[in-house]
Structure 1
Amino acid sequence: MSANTPEVEQKRGFRIPIPFWAQVLLGLVVGLILGWVARTYDVSWLATTLDKVGGIFVQLLKLAVAPLVFFAILVSITNLRKVNNAARLATRTLLWFMITSLIAVVIGLAIGLLTNPGNGSDLTPADGAKPDHAGSWLDFLTGIIPTDIITPFTELNVLQIVFMAVVAGIAILKIGTKAQPILNLSESVLELLQKALWWVILLAPIGSAGLIGNAIVQYGWDLLGNYATFTIDIYVGCALVLFGVYPLLLATVAKLNPLQFFKGAWPAIQLAFVSRSSVGTMPVTQQSAIRLGVPKDYASFAVPFGATTKMDGCAAIYPAISAIFVAQIFDVQMGIKEYLLIAFVSVIGSAATAGLTGATVMLTLTLSTLGLPMEGVGLLLAIDPILDMMRTATNVAGQALVPVIVSAREKILDRTKYDNAKASGFDDDIEVYEHTKTDQAEPVTAAA
């Protein structure tokens, strides 16, 4: 069904004629101004309000994370039954996740080694503090399997939730028709969660004002002084991947026009920048992939899978530059072995980030693997919210990119849809989502 039906056109008449991206930008500007006012003139009630507004927005996003991840992964696994050569598509998807992560971590290492972000900073080891819990490979490996089915949801252990969802999805496939009622219920619950999440996402302009305003109140502009090179490194690294590597892969590997990709994926990228949550952005990312011509059944597998495991910003660029930064602050020498370990951790351990705001788990995992002081985590916590916006935007762009590349190479991409992808607004995404979620999917066949 076309999104441009009379009913849709009628609904548009009741909407605020301000594009969603403009609403988000306005929210950021208002937040900057209010944060500056609250900090400069010590307006405590305004500072508290900004803190609460931003906190509630993030809390609403997190509220849906656990059940959304579980049912999205479960349903995506079962959707593979509608895809011919599903194992091939899944393998190719994972392979491209790893390839792009490796490219991203190499860029991060190169930037860190060229700029020496820790040198010239006034920070000292005394400014750091150990986190309450430091991640390790033992924690990562043993932590995949939950001790019960309740704790992962109450403690928001996304990695364990993904494990249970994969097991449940495979079990449903094995059981067959007898498990159809459970699958029907899961699909209904997933649509309910996605609908509720759309409502939360519509609050992004207000939430962004609170988040950026609170960051200014808490840290001010002086904070950027000691982290200037480090902050620039993260943003430049993410920008190189987002606007350099991704377009190059689209043009050379997939033989696609990169500009069309950004037109189709921009709503997801801009929302990721504001929300700082790959999982919270997942419905928009999935719709972006479908709009770009990725078959719906494949997109419903690849995007949720990527939202919990594909993190080029948080799990590749960030830990690479951060490790060099911490090593320089603590005067620890690193060599080829350590750089190879960083690459290994980034490619294999990215699931530890789990699509939530922040990348502390991945950072602690990287530092512990390299034997670097864990106090380095404390050095980076203050600046983290500012960095996380660009990191998450890069994450989400990569989560939309890989399904497009795989679909193009497997000759299942609808190139007409891709070539006609528009730079639609977020409101248009809601309309498309409402209509396409009930469409009958065509069988998907990967090229042999």
Structure 2
Amino acid sequence: MKKLNLTTKIFIGLIVGIIVGLFFQSAPDAAKTYIKPFGDLFLNLIKMIIIPLVLSSLVVGAASTGDVRRLGRIGVKTIAYYLLTTAFAVTLGLILGNIIDPGFGLTLPANAKVEVNKAPSVVETLLNIIPTNPVKAMVDANMLQIIAFALFLGIGITIAREKGKPVLDFFESLAEVSYKIVGIIMEYAPIGVFALIVPVVAANGPKVLLPLLKVIIAVYLGVALHAGIVYSTLVRIFGKISPAKFFKGAAPAMLVAFTTCSSSATLPVSMDVTEKNLGVSKSVSSFVLPLGATINMDGTALYQGVCALFVAQIFGINLTLSQQLTIILTATLASIGTAGVPGAGLIMLSMVLQSVGLPLEGIALIAGIDRILDMPRTCINVTGDIAGSVVVAATEGELNPDVAKAL
């Protein structure tokens, strides 16, 4: 009998979890008490390895380039890719919002209120990238600061040449050990995915979802179209990889992202599949993926577009073309401006609504199904990270497309 691969096992865990979750609809607390802890264990295992994996991989990647200018070139390509795909995503969200009319016929509850933290300024965001205490940045899991410190460390190793080699050897060893630990954790992934999806389905049954079904359909359809149009086209043109092979290779990370709703928590899996299944070099994936897990918000931007139209329709407001263009610009820039901030999705949405004068109270209605919407948008965020690493690697001559073709 043929042994099931990891992707199949994770998919089975997801489907079985959905079925079991439906049975637990009458007792969602039981699912949360007895099943969710197994999912929390999976998340804790992944979070345990994120910092050593990202730090060591980035240091090795930055040092192995041997050229600071090349590192800068990769950085420019990565950020340009993320901004362009984010702009396309929010545009697609607005188009679907106009077609589907998700807010038509709905009214806002009288007691609807929402509190949103203030977004940091651009200057504050840029200053916060540089850690005053790298150890504290690692303790707080501040990914942008960890990335900055790792890059400086890698550049310093390159400049130090032979004297920096012992430090490089240490991080190379740490990176290899981290990859092995990721492999061990992934053996538990099917159980973790099962345990994470059961309480979500149990708490959000058909009765909760039906009133806002149009919003859910618009977001899920949007992320599917974004993946099918944008990522498929990019990996085929730049990476010479068929979309079917790309999505097959990225599937384990996509499924983990869907259930965990965390790009950072999925990062070890993303790095693993990007290198092993899609043939991206470690030097590229170790830079593009951690940066993407922090600032790439294609799925979130698409969600902003749909939700902005949803809120406008609830309040009977017709958005002009110029207002919708403002939403595209605001959501694209906000994806960078809120990078690394807790609750970034909610802050982004508040900024988008305020940019065109829409009431923030509309967010309260969406908050009830936020977890259901968070799953596809995180999944597409991670898929975008992986596609970005393929594109950047291909333009740098750091991609082996034969790896994906062999899947």
Determine if the TM-score, normalized by the shorter chain, exceeds 0.5. yes
List per-residue Cα deviations over 1:224-277 (Å, max 9, x = no partner): 123211111111110001112222334455555333323333333333333333
In the alignment, what sits opposite 1:97? 82
CA 1:177/1:310 → structure 2, altered by over 3 Å: closer, same or farther? farther
List per-residue Cα deviations over 1:314-344 (Å, max 9, x = no partner): 2x21222223323434555544454334333
In 2, Cα distance between the equivalents of 1:368 and 1:141? 23
Q: CA deviation at 1:49?
A: 1.3
Q: For residue 394 of structure 1, what is the amino acid of its counterpart?
A: I
In 2, Cα distance between the equivalents of 1:268 and 1:148? 31
In 2, Cα distance between the equivalents of 1:76 and 1:92? 16
Q: CA deviation at 1:125?
A: 6.2
In 2, Cα distance between the equivalents of 1:393 and 1:309? 14
Q: CA deviation at 1:222?
A: 1.4
In 1, Cα distance between the equivalents of 2:274 and 2:181? 21
In the alignment, what sits opposite 1:137? 121
CA 1:350/1:156 → structure 2, altered by over 3 Å: closer, same or farther? same
- The answer (yes or no) to whether the contact 2:54–2:286 under 8 Å persists in 1 is no
Q: CA deviation at 1:174?
A: 3.6
- The answer (yes or no) to whether the contact 1:251–1:258 under 8 Å persists in 2 is yes
Where structure 2 has 5 or more consecutive residues not aligned to the other structure, the ranges are none
Q: 1:405 aligns with which of 370, 391, 403?
A: 391
Q: Secondary structure at the match of 1:39?
A: coil
Q: CA deviation at 1:299?
A: 3.1
- The answer (yes or no) to whether the contact 2:39–2:192 under 8 Å persists in 1 is yes
In 1, Cα distance between the equivalents of 2:281 and 2:146? 26
Q: CA deviation at 1:86?
A: 4.3
In 1, Cα distance between the equivalents of 2:346 and 2:53? 22
In 2, Cα distance between the equivalents of 1:51 and 1:358? 25
CA 1:216/1:163 → structure 2, altered by over 3 Å: closer, same or farther? same
In 2, Cα distance between the equivalents of 1:44 and 1:289? 37
Q: Are 2:13 and 1:24 aligned?
A: no
Q: For residue 137 of structure 1, what is the amino acid of its counterpart?
A: S
Moved more, 280-289 or 347-356: 347-356
- The answer (yes or no) to whether the contact 2:261–2:378 under 8 Å persists in 1 is yes
Q: 2:292 aligns with which of 293, 306, 312?
A: 306
Over the matched positions of the two proteins, sequence identity in percent amounts to 32
Q: For residue 116 of structure 1, what is the amino acid of its counterpart?
A: D
Q: Are 2:62 and 1:73 aligned?
A: no
Q: 2:210 aligns with which of 203, 206, 225?
A: 225
CA 1:255/1:164 → structure 2, altered by over 3 Å: closer, same or farther? closer
Aligned residues: 404
Q: CA deviation at 1:212?
A: 1.8
Q: CA deviation at 1:151?
A: 4.2
Q: 1:152 aligns with which of 129, 137, 152?
A: 137
In the alignment, what sits opposite 2:154? 169
In 2, Cα distance between the equivalents of 1:270 and 1:277? 11
List per-residue Cα deviations over 1:115-156 (Å, max 9, x = no partner): 23222234436334214x343435644543445445434443
In 1, Cα distance between the equivalents of 2:365 and 2:52? 33
Q: Secondary structure at the match of 2:25?
A: helix
Taking structure 1 as the reference length, the TM-score comes to: 0.77
Q: Secondary structure at the match of 1:227?
A: helix
- The answer (yes or no) to whether the contact 2:289–2:389 under 8 Å persists in 1 is yes
- The answer (yes or no) to whether the contact 1:357–1:388 under 8 Å persists in 2 is no
- The answer (yes or no) to whether the contact 2:147–2:290 under 8 Å persists in 1 is no
In 2, Cα distance between the equivalents of 1:183 and 1:394? 34
Q: Are 2:283 and 1:297 aligned?
A: yes
In 2, Cα distance between the equivalents of 1:30 and 1:416? 34
Q: 1:178 aligns with which of 163, 167, 187?
A: 163
Taking structure 2 as the reference length, the TM-score comes to: 0.83
In 1, Cα distance between the equivalents of 2:140 and 2:252? 30
Q: Are 2:33 and 1:48 aligned?
A: yes
In the alignment, what sits opposite 2:24? 38
Where structure 1 has 5 or more consecutive residues not aligned to the other structure, the ranges are 1-12, 423-448
List per-residue Cα deviations over 1:22-67 (Å, max 9, x = no partner): 3223323332343333332x37544411332333333333343344
